[in-house]
Structure 1
Amino acid sequence: MLGFSLSRLPDLDYDGHFKEKFALIPGYWYYFSQGHYRYGMLIHLATVLPAGILMVFQFTPIIRHKFLLFHRINGYVVSLLTVISNLAAFVIIRHPQGGNRVTSHAVETLMGIITTVGVVLAVYNARRKQIDQHRAWMLRTMFYMGVTITARLINLAATPIISRIGNYWSVWMCDEISFLYTNVGLEFPRDGYPDCFLPDGSLDRWKRVAVSAQENPERLEQLGAGVVITFGTMLWICLFLHVIGVEVYLRMTPRESERLRRVSYEKQLEAGYRNPGSAGLVLDRWADADPWTPPSK
C-alpha cells in the first residue's frame, strides 16, 4: 500500500502526469477532464493517496506502543481521509477503469461500502476501548482497500490473455473514439467504424460501436479496451481473495487477539464499564449472562 501510494503521487499533477498517463484509457480522461467527474477524481486522489501513506504508521509496532498519541491522531486522520475518498469515489463510479459496465459499478460500489463500514466500526470499537475488535476491523478495512492494487497486478496478465483468446468486445461511443485519437493528434479510423458517421459525413457522437479488445498499438481504442474489459472481473476475484485472506490471518493470530482482549478488559475496568472486556461489538446482553474475565496468565 505504501509503495503503491508513493508511486501514484505524481497523479496529483492532474493536467500533466495524470492526463498523459490515462489519456489512452477509455472512461478516464474523456470524462475526468471536466465537470463533477474531474473534481470527484481530484478529491479522491488527494485523500486516498495520503491515507495509503499514513496508514503504514498505524501498523508499525514501535509507534503503537511508544507513541500512542500519534497513533490515535494519525488513526483519526487516516479514517477521515478514507471516508472522504470513498464519498468522492461514489461521485465518479459511473465511469470507473472497468468502463461503463454494471459488473464494475457493482464491485466498486461494494468496496466503497465495506471499507466505509469497516473504518466506522474500527473507530467505534476504539472509542469503546474494545481494542481487539478495533484491530480486527482496521485490518479488514485495509485489506479491502488493497483490492485495487492486487487487481491491477493481475490485470497485467489478464489483458494479453484475452487478447490472444480473441472475441472479447467493449462498447464505446463514437465520441470517445474521436476524443482518444484527437487527443494524440491522429485521425479517426473511419475504415474500422463506418457506422460512426452520418450520411453527410459528420460524426454521430452518441452512436455506440463494438470495439475488439486487442493488444494492437496501431488501434488505440482496441488497446484501451483490452485494459478495461477485464478490470471489473479482476476486482471481483481479488475482493474474494482479500475477504477470505484477512479472516484467515485473524484466525492465525489468536495470541494477539487475546492479548488485546486483556488490554480492553483493563482499560474498560479502569473506565468503570459495567461489563469490562465486553464493549464495542460484543453484545452486552451476552456479557450479562456470562461476563468475560481475562484468563489467568
Structure 2
Amino acid sequence: MPLYIHNENPNAVVSFLRRAYNPVGFKKGYNAILWFICTGYLLGFTLARISYLNLWDQNSSSSFIRNCGPGEIYWIVTSAVYKHGIAIHLCAVIPGSLLALFQFVPAIRYKALLAHRVNGYLVYTLTIISAVGALMVARRAFGGDMAAQTFSGFLSVYTVIGSFFAYINVKRLQLDQHRAWMIRVWVLMATIVTLRIIQHIMMSILTLVGSYYYTILCGQLAVIASPGFMNSVSSVCAQGGELAYVSVNVDLGTLPGTIAAMEITFGMAGWIAIAFHVIGVELYLAMTPAESERLRQLSYERQLARGFSRPGTAGLTVDKWGDAEVWVPKTIKGNGDAAMLSSGSSSDLEDELVKKPQGVYTV
C-alpha cells in the first residue's frame, strides 16, 4: 500500500495543512512535512551560528573566537593557514546554507525561476569556497587525527563533486538527476548538525566511563590550562616544548579534559552522522520514484525542444552510463512505437529512438 494517497475529501486538519503548504508550492503533505523538518533542522543551526561571522572579537560573547573549541585557539594563534581557512569556511558556509534553503522552496522555482537560477549559482560558488576552507583546517581541526581528517576530506570532496554533478545535469536539462544530487549534497552538508548531537552524547558517556585518554599538544594546553595543571605536566612540556604531547583524561569537568573529549569524539561522530544521512537520503530518493519520473518526463520535453540528440537521457543518467534498461517517455508517436513500448521490446525501441528524427516524439 502506498505511503501517500491523495484524498479528494480531506478532513478539517488536512484542509488546514493544505492551506498552509500549498502556497509554498507543495502538492503532497509528506513532502511538506519532510521539507519543514529538514530545512528547520539546518536553518536552526545556521541561525545559531550567524554570530560566528564576527570572527575575532574578544569583547563579544557570541563571536567565533569566544565560542570555538578550547583546543582550536592554539592553532588560530599559531597557524595562518588554520586561521584563514576557518575564516574562509565560516564566511562561505553560513550564508551558503541560508541561501540553499530557498532552493528547496517549490514556489520560488515555479514563480521566480530567474531568482532560483541566480541563487543556485551563488550556492554553488559558496559551497566550493567553504569546502576549500574546510580542507585548509582539516589537518588540525579537533585534534586532526585520521578519523577527523578523513571525515572533513570526504565531506568536502563529496559536496564539491555532488555540486558539479548537479550543475552538469541542470545545464543538460536533466532535472530528475539535478534534484537527486542537490538533495544528496545538502543532506550530507547537514551532517555537521547531527555530528554535534552525537558528539555531545559521546563526550558525556566517555566522561562517565572515566578511563579514556587522549594525547594533546602542550601548546594547546598552555593557552587554556590552569597553572596547577601545567605544573603537573611541566617535565614533559619542558623537554619537548609546545609540540610535545601529553596524555589527558577525557573529563568534561576540566578544560584539558574537555579538549580531549571533543577531539577523541569528533571524527567518530562525523562518520556515524554521514552513515545516518547517506542511508536516509538514499531511502528518500528510492521511495519517491514518481517525482523522479515526473521530472524526467519534463526533462524529456525540454531536451526535445532544445534539439538534444538523446532527449530524456542527455544528463548523467544510469541508462546512459550504467546497465539499466533504456528509458522511454510515456507517450511516443510513430510507427508502432507504442506497441513496442507496451510489449516490452526495449532493445528494439532503443534502436528506434537512436535512428528516428527527434521531432517524432512528443509527450
Judged with a 3 Å threshold, the aligned counterparts in structure 2 of structure 1 residues 223 and 292 are, in CA distance, closer, same or farther, namely closer
* 1:56 partnered with 2:66: no
1:31 paired residue number: 75
Mapping of 1:212-223 within 5 angstroms? 212-216=249-253, 219-223=254-258
2:186 paired residue number: 142
2:296 to 261, 267, 291: 261
Asked if the contact 1:25–1:228 (Cα under 8 Å) also holds between the matched residues in 2, the reply is no
| Superposition deviation, residue 39 in structure 1 | 1.0
Judged with a 3 Å threshold, the aligned counterparts in structure 2 of structure 1 residues 226 and 285 are, in CA distance, closer, same or farther, namely closer
Task: Provide the C-alpha distance between the structure 1 equivalents of 2:176 and 2:284, rounded to a whole number of angstroms.
Answer: 14
Asked if the contact 2:74–2:219 (Cα under 8 Å) also holds between the matched residues in 1, the reply is no
Task: Provide the C-alpha distance between the structure 2 equivalents of 1:13 and 1:196, rounded to a whole number of angstroms.
Answer: 37
* 1:14 partnered with 2:55: yes
Task: Provide the C-alpha distance between the structure 2 equivalents of 1:241 and 1:285, rounded to a whole number of angstroms.
Answer: 29
> Which amino acid letter does the alignment assign opposite residue 253 of structure 1?
T
> Which amino acid letter does the alignment assign opposite residue 167 of structure 2?
V
TM-score by length of 2: 0.74
| Superposition deviation, residue 38 in structure 1 | 0.9
Task: Provide the C-alpha distance between the structure 1 equivalents of 2:132 and 2:191, rounded to a whole number of angstroms.
Answer: 18
Task: Provide the C-alpha distance between the structure 2 equivalents of 1:129 and 1:187, rounded to a whole number of angstroms.
Answer: 63
Deviations 1:103-125 (A, max 9, x none): 11011111111111000000000
Task: Provide the C-alpha distance between the structure 2 equivalents of 1:290 and 1:143, rounded to a whole number of angstroms.
Answer: 29
| Superposition deviation, residue 20 in structure 1 | 1.1
Asked if the contact 1:103–1:232 (Cα under 8 Å) also holds between the matched residues in 2, the reply is yes
* 1:68 partnered with 2:113: yes
> Which amino acid letter does the alignment assign opposite residue 283 of structure 2?
V
Task: Provide the C-alpha distance between the structure 2 equivalents of 1:285 and 1:197, rounded to a whole number of angstroms.
Answer: 60
1:110 paired residue number: 154
Deviations 1:153-195 (A, max 9, x none): 12121111011112211111112111123xxxx4251453243
| Superposition deviation, residue 196 in structure 1 | 3.0
Judged with a 3 Å threshold, the aligned counterparts in structure 2 of structure 1 residues 12 and 290 are, in CA distance, closer, same or farther, namely closer
Task: Provide the C-alpha distance between the structure 2 equivalents of 1:179 and 1:133, rounded to a whole number of angstroms.
Answer: 49
Computed over aligned residues only, the root mean square deviation of the Cα atoms, in angstroms, reads 2.1
2:235 paired residue number: 195
| Superposition deviation, residue 58 in structure 1 | 0.4
Mapping of 1:258-297 within 5 angstroms? 258-282=293-317, 292-296=327-331
| Superposition deviation, residue 79 in structure 1 | 0.8
* 1:247 partnered with 2:244: no
1:204 to 233, 241, 245: 241
| Superposition deviation, residue 291 in structure 1 | 5.8
> Which amino acid letter does the alignment assign opposite residue 9 of structure 1?
I
Judged with a 3 Å threshold, the aligned counterparts in structure 2 of structure 1 residues 170 and 271 are, in CA distance, closer, same or farther, namely same
- Runs (4+) of structure 1 exceeding 2 A deviation are 194-199, 203-206, 282-287, 289-293
Judged with a 3 Å threshold, the aligned counterparts in structure 2 of structure 1 residues 212 and 290 are, in CA distance, closer, same or farther, namely closer
> Which amino acid letter does the alignment assign opposite residue 208 of structure 1?
Y
Gaps of 5+ in 2: 1-41, 58-62, 332-362
Q: Which has the higher contact order (CA 8 A, sep 6+)?
A: 1
Calculate percent identity across the aligned residue pairs.
36
| Superposition deviation, residue 204 in structure 1 | 2.9
Gaps of 5+ in 1: none
Task: Provide the C-alpha distance between the structure 1 equivalents of 2:116 and 2:215, rounded to a whole number of angstroms.
Answer: 47
> Which amino acid letter does the alignment assign opposite residue 164 of structure 1?
L
Secondary structure of 1:14's counterpart equals coil
